[in-house]
Structure formats: C-alpha cells, structure tokens
C-alpha cells in the first residue's frame, strides 16, 4: 500500500494489512501482470497519452522486474498488498517518477480481471494438453489388450461381457467432452477486460482493440461494469475441472476395485502403489484413492466461489480477491491428478486371464441364452424366466453354463437345441454389432476414430 496512501493519514493496522493482502498467493500472476502492463504501455504511447521515450523506460523497467522475480532476487515486501502494487512500487524505485505513468487509464480492477483471464487461458491450454495425454495413455492400453474381455457391470453386479478396450473407450469419450467443456470455457475467457477502468470505462482516448491484439484476445468486453465484476470464467474453469475430476475419480474407483485381491484384474506398478506400515502383504492404490479424494476438493473450490459471488452488487468488491486461491488450487489439483493418473494407467499390468475367468464365473451369457430362445420363438419374458431358473440351478450345482448338459438345458425349455453350445463369450461380443456396441469390429473402428480425434487436435 505504501505508495498510494493518498487521503489516509496513517498506515493500515498490521493485522488489517495481513488480512487484506493477497501478495502471498497472487504473486503467481506476476508474468501475466507484467505482460498486461507492457501491452498497456505500448498502447498509451501509440495513442500519445505518454511519450515513446517514457514507454521505453517503463517497459524496460517491467522487463527487468520480471527477470528479478524469475531469478529470485525480487524482494516481496509484506507491506505490499498485492502483486500489482508490488510491481508498480518496484518500478517507481527503478525508473523514478515516470513509472507513475504506467497506471494512467487503468485501475487495479480491470488490471486484476485481465491478469486472471490471462492466467485462466493458460490453465485451460494446460488442462487440454494433459487430458489429451491421458486419453492417449488409455488408447495405448486398449490397443495393446485388444482381445481382453472383462465382465461389464450394472449395480456392480456382473452383467454382460465387454471388451476392455470398450470399457476404456468409455472414459475416452468422457474426457473428450471434458476437452469440449474447456474449449467452451476458453471462448468465454478469451475477452479483454482492460479499458474498463475501475468500473465505468476510462476518460482517455485508449485503443482497446490494439491491446487485445497485443495480448492475443479474440474479443474486447462490451460492458465495463460486467468486465470488472464478473468471474464467471473462473467458475467455468472450476466447473469444467470439477466434471473432469469426477470422471477421473470414477476411473480411480474402478482401478481401486480392479486392483483388489477380489477382482484381480490389474496390478499397479510398484511406483504407483504404496505398502502398509504394518501389514506386509499389502499393496495399496493410494494414488487412485487420492485422485478420488481430490475430486471433492475441486468441487469445494467451485462451490466456494459460487457462494462468494452470489450476493455481490456491481461492480468490483474486495470479496472477489477470494477467487484466486481456489482457482490456483483447482488448476494444480487437476493438473497433478491428470499427470499421475496417466503414469498409473500406462504402467499398470492388465491381468487378462483373471478378467476372462471372471467372465466365465458370472453367468454373463444369460442374456444371450434368453436371446437364443427368443430367436427360437419364445417371448422375451418367458425366455428370461427359463434362463433365470437355469442359472439358479447351475449356481446350486456349482457349475458354469458350459458345464451344463443339453439334457439339463432342456429341462428349462424345450427350445434349447445342440446349437446352444455356439453361445460363447466371443459370440456374445460379436452379436452386439450396433453403433456404439462392444462387438470387436465396432471397437476396432472406435479405436481408430479415437486416434483420429487425437491426431486432429494436434
Ligand atoms: N488484490 C485485489 C484482487 O485480487 C486487486 C484489486 C484490488 N482493487 C481494489 N480496488 N482494491 O481482487
């Protein structure tokens, strides 16, 4: 606060200064702040609001401050309220009086909105890149295990056989929509707020389009009050991140189940599992558990900002400073989660044989048997009932469906013939030859399509 005490006769109380300060966390915006200030300075000179010479001094000063920060020689003084003030104060120290011209035709309100939009734009790009890498990892696993079959579940009860690749492609689709949500979020974030001043616009002949171009913004905000007061682009990011974390959390949950002794479908690489301090036999899926746990944390960030904003009158209110830590944390959490999950998925061992055994164990061909009876003329309901009785008979005997003789089959329906032996896991998969189904031919096509989608976005 030091250099703009203006109408105040005394410095803020220490506790007040500490309570209101954001420097400890918004220093993360230094790069964005300096980039915004440099673009603003260029514009001021172009418009004749300051001289070319003054602009050179200011931009050189800003560039050297950026270097100081990057080399760790910049002194972050607790007396400075936020990164904007800290940089401006340092500029005055370095270049003297002329540094005071930087803030012409600008307010911290449009400045901070700008910085945060620049930051969010980058965060969106980063999220998309990481999601793409994760999708690629899923495709790699799917392609190297093209024939692996596992039970598909509903209600977590074994339901019908599906290809592992089909299962993994389901996540590919979810992530594809996540990318879509981030793209959408980018469209709305990519708007220049600078030029809105404190709230009403500025009384100088500025060129907002020029600044937008310098900073690569596609649009200029249309309303100054809105531009300094809203943070819906942060909410957009956080909600896209929350949905993506939800998807990651579901996969994490499956990985946790699959790596259990009871399922045994996968084994996590040692680098992605932890041991127990007391039980020597344990190999715990902590990474997946934390990914699942951290989804709640990202939801919390979204709800926190929604709540912070709901009662704010136009335009800027200091409450908005609460936007940053939540956003930073959501960005860091999503990015780290994508990173570790990519590694975990790429290194896990797929236990194809265990998956196959689980398929055989679960009477997963029951639907196919019912369909068989329907093709022989039974109504679906009576076929369903006959097969239900057959399955419970087999279960009582501790037999699989392959171990049941034709004679036994025929006790439940006279329509069963010798060709019932043609009903196998392979025939079950192949029969689901509809768009979006798990038939191997469809899945092979889906894998190709998925690869193409990834290649196109490069
Ligand atoms: N640190 C503030 C924030 O994060 C910057 C804007 C302050 N503007 C103001 N008029 N106090 O929102």
324 plus 232 within the same structural domain? yes
443 plus 296 within the same structural domain? no
* Residue 5 forms part of a structural domain: no
**Which pLDDT band holds residue 279 (cuts at 50, 70, 90)?**
confident
205 plus 271 within the same structural domain? yes
- 16 CA to middle of ligand 1, Å? 15
* Residue 117 forms part of a structural domain: yes
What residue numbers bound the domain in which 245 lies?
109-357
* Residue 188 forms part of a structural domain: yes
pLDDT digits (tens, 9 = 90+) for 148-166: 999 999 999 999 999 999 9
108 lines ligand 1 (CB under 6 A): yes
94 plus 36 within the same structural domain? yes
CA distance linking residue 239 with residue 187, whole number of Å = 15
- 215 CA to middle of ligand 1, Å? 21
- 321 CA to middle of ligand 1, Å? 6
CA distance linking residue 220 with residue 190, whole number of Å = 9
321 lines ligand 1 (CB under 6 A): yes
**Which pLDDT band holds residue 4 (cuts at 50, 70, 90)?**
low
Ligand 1 atom 11: residue of nearest CA = 318
Examine the pLDDT at 229 and tell me if it is beyond 50. yes
404: which 2 tokens?
């049941």
**Which pLDDT band holds residue 3 (cuts at 50, 70, 90)?**
low
3-state helix, strand, coil in the chain (%, to 5): 65, 5, 30
In the predicted model, what is the mean pLDDT of residues 123-148? 98
CA distance linking residue 212 with residue 107, whole number of Å = 17
* Residue 9 forms part of a structural domain: no
153 plus 100 within the same structural domain? no
CA distance linking residue 43 with residue 46, whole number of Å = 5
112 lines ligand 1 (CB under 6 A): yes
82 lines ligand 1 (CB under 6 A): yes
Cβ atoms of residues 362 and 158 within 8 Å: yes
**Which pLDDT band holds residue 1 (cuts at 50, 70, 90)?**
very low
Q: Which residues contact 75 (CB under 8 A, 6 or more apart)?
A: none
* Residue 190 forms part of a structural domain: yes
**Which pLDDT band holds residue 137 (cuts at 50, 70, 90)?**
very high
Domain final residue pick, 80, 104, 128: 104
353 plus 365 within the same structural domain? no
* Residue 7 forms part of a structural domain: no
In the predicted model, what is the mean pLDDT of residues 178-206? 98
239 lines ligand 1 (CB under 6 A): no
Pocket test for ligand 1, best of 30, 37, 86, 112 (most atoms within 8 A of CB): 112
384 is catalytic: no
155 is catalytic: yes
Domain final residue pick, 77, 104, 131: 104
**Which pLDDT band holds residue 458 (cuts at 50, 70, 90)?**
low
pLDDT digits (tens, 9 = 90+) for 8-33: 888 778 899 999 999 999 999 999 99
352 plus 388 within the same structural domain? no
Whole-number average pLDDT of the chain: 96
In the predicted model, what is the mean pLDDT of residues 98-125? 98
Q: Considering 71, 155, 277, 405, which one is annotated as catalytic?
A: 155
203 plus 290 within the same structural domain? yes
CATH of the domain at 70: 1.10.275.10
229 plus 336 within the same structural domain? yes
235 plus 367 within the same structural domain? no
Which residues in 256-293 are b (16+ Cβ under 10 Å) and which e?
bbbbeeebebbbbeeebbeeeeeeeeeeebebbbbbbe
Displacement of CA 45 from its chain's centroid (Å): 41
pLDDT digits (tens, 9 = 90+) for 171-183: 999 999 999 999 9
Q: Considering 51, 260, 276, 427, which one is annotated as catalytic?
A: 276
Give the number of domains in the chain: 3
CATH of the domain at 163: 1.20.200.10
**Which pLDDT band holds residue 42 (cuts at 50, 70, 90)?**
very high
111 lines ligand 1 (CB under 6 A): no
Pocket test for ligand 1, best of 25, 30, 108 (most atoms within 8 A of CB): 108
Using a pLDDT cut of 90, give the percent of the chain over it. 93
Looking up tokens 């392959």 gives 402
* Residue 3 forms part of a structural domain: no
* Ligand 1 atom closest to the CA of 198, numbered from 1: 10
196 plus 167 within the same structural domain? yes
- More confidently predicted of 40 and 3: 40
* Residue 2 forms part of a structural domain: no
* Ligand 1 atom closest to the CA of 82, numbered from 1: 1
pLDDT digits (tens, 9 = 90+) for 48-76: 999 999 999 999 999 999 999 999 999 99
337 lines ligand 1 (CB under 6 A): no
29 lines ligand 1 (CB under 6 A): no
DSSP 435: T
In the predicted model, what is the mean pLDDT of residues 193-222? 98
| Beta strands 219-220; 191-192: pairing state | parallel
189 lines ligand 1 (CB under 6 A): no
Examine the pLDDT at 427 and tell me if it is beyond 70. yes
Ligand 1 atom 4: residue of nearest CA = 321
Domain final residue pick, 303, 322, 357: 357
258 plus 371 within the same structural domain? no
CA distance linking residue 220 with residue 289, whole number of Å = 43
């Amino acid at each position: 606060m030091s250099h703009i005490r203006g109408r105040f006769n005394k410095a803020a109380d220490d506790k007040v200064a500490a309570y209101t300060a954001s420097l400890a966390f918004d220093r993360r915006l230094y790069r964005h702040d300096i980039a915004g200030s440099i673009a603003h300075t260029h514009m001021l000179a172009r418009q004749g609001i300051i001289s070319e010479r003054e602009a050179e001094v200011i931009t050189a000063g800003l560039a050297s401050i950026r270097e100081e920060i990057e080399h760790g020689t910049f002194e972050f003084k607790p007396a400075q309220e936020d990164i904007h003030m800290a940089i401006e104060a340092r500029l005055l120290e370095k270049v003297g009086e002329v540094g005071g011209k930087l803030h012409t035709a600008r307010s911290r309100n449009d400045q901070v909105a700008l910085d945060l939009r620049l930051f969010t734009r980058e965060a969106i790009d980063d999220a998309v890149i990481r999601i793409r890498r994760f999708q690629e990892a899923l495709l790699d696993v799917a392609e190297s295990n093209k024939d692996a079959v596992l039970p598909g579940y509903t209600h977590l009860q074994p339901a019908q056989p599906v290809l592992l690749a089909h299962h993994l492609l389901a996540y590919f689709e979810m992530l594809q929509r996540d990318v879509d949500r981030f793209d959408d979020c980018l469209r709305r974030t990519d708007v220049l707020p600078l030029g809105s001043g404190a709230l009403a616009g500025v009384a100088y002949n500025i060129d907002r389009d020029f600044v937008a171009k310098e900073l690569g913004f596609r649009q200029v905000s249309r309303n100054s009050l809105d531009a300094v007061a809203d943070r819906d682009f942060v909410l957009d990011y956080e909600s896209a991140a929350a949905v993506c974390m939800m998807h990651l959390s579901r996969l994490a949950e499956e990985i946790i189940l699959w790596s259990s002794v009871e399922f045994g479908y996968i084994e996590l690489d040692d680098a992605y599992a932890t041991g127990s301090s007391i039980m020597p036999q344990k190999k715990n899926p902590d990474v997946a558990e934390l990914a699942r746990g951290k989804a709640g944390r990202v939801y919390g960030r979204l709800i926190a900002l929604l709540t912070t904003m709901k009662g704010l009158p136009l335009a800027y209110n200091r409450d908005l400073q609460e936007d940053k830590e939540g956003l930073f944390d959501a960005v860091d959490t999503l990015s780290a989660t994508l990173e570790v999950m990519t590694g975990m998925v790429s290194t896990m061992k797929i236990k194809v044989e265990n998956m196959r055994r689980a398929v055989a164990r679960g009477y997963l061909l029951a639907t196919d048997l019912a369909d068989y009876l329907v093709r022989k003329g039974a109504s679906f309901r009576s076929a369903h009932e006959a097969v239900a009785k057959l399955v419970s008979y087999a279960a009582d005997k501790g037999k699989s469906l392959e171990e049941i003789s034709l004679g036994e089959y025929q006790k439940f329906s006279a329509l069963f013939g010798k060709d019932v032996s043609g009903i196998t896991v392979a025939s079950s998969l192949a029969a689901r030859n509809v768009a979006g189904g798990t038939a191997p031919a469809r899945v092979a096509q889906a894998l190709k399509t998925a690869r193409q989608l990834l290649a196109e976005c490069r």
